[in-house]
Structure 1
Amino acid sequence: MEKPKILVTGATGSTGAPSVEMLLQRGHPVRALVHKEDVRSTRLKNLGAEIIVGDMQNMDDVRAAWKGVKRGYFCYPLNPDLLDVTVIFAQAAKEAGAEFIVNMSQKQVAATAKSPATIRHFLSEEVFRWSGIPTTHLRPTFFSEWFLYIAHQIKAGKLQMPFPEDARHAPVAGEDLARTIASILAEPGPHINRAYQLFGPELLSYAEIGEVFSQTLNKDIIYEQNSVQSMADSMGLGGSDHFKDHLANVISDDLFGTPDMNDVIEKITGKGPMTLAEFIDKNRTAFTT
């Protein structure tokens, strides 16, 4: 029996690209929605994915992406347009007769969230609920990939973020999230209308994260708390109030609160997530050259 084709958005990103690859390995045809053709989309095409170029804010583009597809993965960057894009995606999915969606959300989602990004994710989850399309919501803690955004600091022997050194969370790699996404999309039944908080395997303070970087890269890296503005500037997002407001509110919105970690990824996929040291080693070039 032919396996259903699956739509993957954010298909060149840290969860989208490995999801495409893993679904193809499982024998599913995959349609990858990308914003533009580049070396990343070419790689996915060479792996066997159908590439469709489109704008997720364009209703016709999203309708075209859903045509002939019944399952999809929804992922959108930290952007104030999230709600508009969610409504477009959900409406196009409903018109196409979609049977299942996996939605990438946030760990700290709540109706009382103060972060503009987090409250939008809460409302995005509600939109999918209103649509009536069976949906699984994934609520991860901070991705390990956040450290790649400040890799230039780490090369220089620094690790600076606007969180207290004793703030703890269990960083999770995009690859492990992708394995979870692919597993759920391939066999939706047990996961329909569930919400999963997802974590890496180690609960670490930022001081301990600095120690892991030091030990793995064999260089002195000490964590220092800096300002929200300084981190945004270091990432080229100094002018983004949406991003800065999100960073400023993740503590009060309970990103670092309980639950701290669980074994959901291993239960769903049969394999535990990688440690931070394994992630650093896998991306060693980014942190050293």
Structure 2
Amino acid sequence: MKNNILVTGAAGDTGTHVVSQLLKAGANVRAMVRQEDQRSDALKNSGAEIVVGDLNDFNSVSAALKGMNTAYFVYPLAPGLLEATAYFAQAAREEQLKLVVNVSQRTSLRDAPSHSAQNHWVAERMLDRSGVPVTHLQPTLFMEWLVYFAEDIRDNSRIVTPFGKAKYASISSEDIARVAAAILLDPASHAGKIYPLFGPQELTQYEVAKILSDQVGRTISYIEVEPEAFGQIVSESDSPFNRPFNIQHFIGIAYMFRSGRLEGMNNNVEEITGTKPRSFAEFISERPGLFG
């Protein structure tokens, strides 16, 4: 019998790749999206069943989970995570799901200074107590983070971020998705596990700038700013993250990075999927022209 899998956030960075990986494996995939648009049309054309829903609406979540065996749960960087988690946990319990794969954060800690990161820690505990088998993924900073600075990099040949000289092994959303899909296809082997996820190489922002310089053929400079100064820059921008909740998160995790709390690496991606995660240089090379 086929595995019926719900993928939330199916039009997002990781969700799109999760759907693709699962369909390739022959699973029945129900893709939950906030609205029908070109992205949902692409998912439908690839073979996914589309359901329009809202994670902050219990009836919507309950309907989306009907008839599912397992589910991929991801919530955007926005308020409302704990309410959405409570709804999802209850609906998953009612449907007797075999597994929920929950996307959390590497910054998910009880004492995290970021409200978002702390909420993810609480959300993990809520799912643990739900009675539904769960696997928590804790990715470090997404490589896609740099994409939001692409215009500044193109126009001004600089990276302005608040991470100081911290080292971290960023990971691509596609590699996170490969891990999630592999777990959803083999739920019994991964239930109850927590997997921190890293890319293949720890880099400082100075090293990131050097790799980016080599890829684009001109010098890209890293400009260190203090966390609060970075928050001010975002607050004066037209960034989609120009919201108090997001700015507080950026400032909070910046201090976590600068203190070294998020250093480290492991082989979880390769051990679960059989393939090493892509390097930062590969990530950049896959986006020719984006950074100028």
Normalising by structure 2, report the TM-score: 0.94
Does structure 1 retain, via aligned residues, the 8 Å contact 2:10–2:33?
Answer: yes
Does structure 1 retain, via aligned residues, the 8 Å contact 2:140–2:171?
Answer: yes
Q: Which residue of 1 aligns with 2:252?
A: 249
Over residues 6-46 of structure 1, what are the superposed CA-to-partner deviations in whole Å (9 max), with x where a residue is unaligned? 00001011110000000000010100000011111111111
Distance in 2 (CA, whole Å) between partners of 1:259 and 1:190 is 27
RMSD: 1.5
Of 215, 236, 239, the match for 2:239: 236
Q: Could you say what secondary structure the match of 1:131 adopts?
A: coil
Over residues 160-211 of structure 1, what are the superposed CA-to-partner deviations in whole Å (9 max), with x where a residue is unaligned? 11221x1111110000000000000000122111101100001000011001
Does structure 2 retain, via aligned residues, the 8 Å contact 1:74–1:104?
Answer: yes
Distance in 2 (CA, whole Å) between partners of 1:244 and 1:209 is 23
Alpha-carbon distance change, 254 to 213 in structure 1, aligned in 2, over 3 angstroms: closer
Distance in 1 (CA, whole Å) between partners of 2:282 and 2:84 is 34
Q: Which residue of 1 aligns with 2:107?
A: 108
Q: Which residue of 2 aligns with 1:161?
A: 161
Distance in 2 (CA, whole Å) between partners of 1:245 and 1:65 is 32
Shift of residue 108, structure 1, vs aligned partner: 2.1
Check if 1:284 corresponds to 2:288.
yes
Trace 1:196-207 onto structure 2 (pairs within 5 A).
196-207=195-206
Does structure 1 retain, via aligned residues, the 8 Å contact 2:166–2:257?
Answer: no
Distance in 1 (CA, whole Å) between partners of 2:238 and 2:103 is 22
Alpha-carbon distance change, 285 to 31 in structure 1, aligned in 2, over 3 angstroms: farther
Alpha-carbon distance change, 128 to 152 in structure 1, aligned in 2, over 3 angstroms: same
Q: Could you say what secondary structure the match of 1:169 adopts?
A: coil
Distance in 1 (CA, whole Å) between partners of 2:138 and 2:242 is 27
Does structure 2 retain, via aligned residues, the 8 Å contact 1:265–1:271?
Answer: yes
Shift of residue 287, structure 1, vs aligned partner: 2.2
Does structure 1 retain, via aligned residues, the 8 Å contact 2:139–2:197?
Answer: yes
Check if 1:119 corresponds to 2:118.
yes
Name the aligned partner's letter for residue 42 of structure 1. D
Does structure 1 retain, via aligned residues, the 8 Å contact 2:109–2:118?
Answer: yes
Distance in 2 (CA, whole Å) between partners of 1:266 and 1:233 is 40
Q: Which residue of 1 aligns with 2:141?
A: 142
Name the aligned partner's letter for residue 193 of structure 1. G
> Unpaired runs of 5+ in structure 2?
none
Q: Which residue of 2 aligns with 1:181?
A: 180
Does structure 2 retain, via aligned residues, the 8 Å contact 1:70–1:99?
Answer: yes
Q: Which residue of 1 aligns with 2:264?
A: 260
Does structure 2 retain, via aligned residues, the 8 Å contact 1:115–1:253?
Answer: no
Distance in 2 (CA, whole Å) between partners of 1:257 and 1:111 is 13
Over residues 91-126 of structure 1, what are the superposed CA-to-partner deviations in whole Å (9 max), with x where a residue is unaligned? 111111112100000112121112100110011001
Alpha-carbon distance change, 46 to 141 in structure 1, aligned in 2, over 3 angstroms: same
Distance in 2 (CA, whole Å) between partners of 1:23 and 1:275 is 23
Name the aligned partner's letter for residue 160 of structure 1. V
Q: Could you say what secondary structure the match of 1:146 adopts?
A: helix
Over residues 127-176 of structure 1, what are the superposed CA-to-partner deviations in whole Å (9 max), with x where a residue is unaligned? 10111111000001100010111111111212111221x11111100000
Q: Could you say what secondary structure the match of 2:245 adopts?
A: helix
- Equivalent residues, number: 286
Name the aligned partner's letter for residue 242 of structure 1. F
Distance in 1 (CA, whole Å) between partners of 2:82 and 2:46 is 32
Trace 1:60-75 onto structure 2 (pairs within 5 A).
60-75=59-74
Q: Which residue of 2 aligns with 1:15?
A: 14
Q: Which portions of structure 1, spanning 4 or more consecutive aligned residues, are displaced by more than 6 angstroms?
A: none
Of 274, 279, 282, the match for 1:270: 274
Shift of residue 257, structure 1, vs aligned partner: 2.5
Normalising by structure 1, report the TM-score: 0.95
Alpha-carbon distance change, 27 to 238 in structure 1, aligned in 2, over 3 angstroms: closer
Distance in 2 (CA, whole Å) between partners of 1:233 and 1:286 is 23
Q: Could you say what secondary structure the match of 1:139 adopts?
A: strand
Name the aligned partner's letter for residue 267 of structure 1. E
Q: Percent identity?
A: 39
Does structure 1 retain, via aligned residues, the 8 Å contact 2:142–2:172?
Answer: yes
Check if 1:129 corresponds to 2:132.
no
Shift of residue 232, structure 1, vs aligned partner: 4.9
Name the aligned partner's letter for residue 247 of structure 1. F
Name the aligned partner's letter for residue 284 of structure 1. P
Q: Which residue of 2 aligns with 1:96?
A: 95
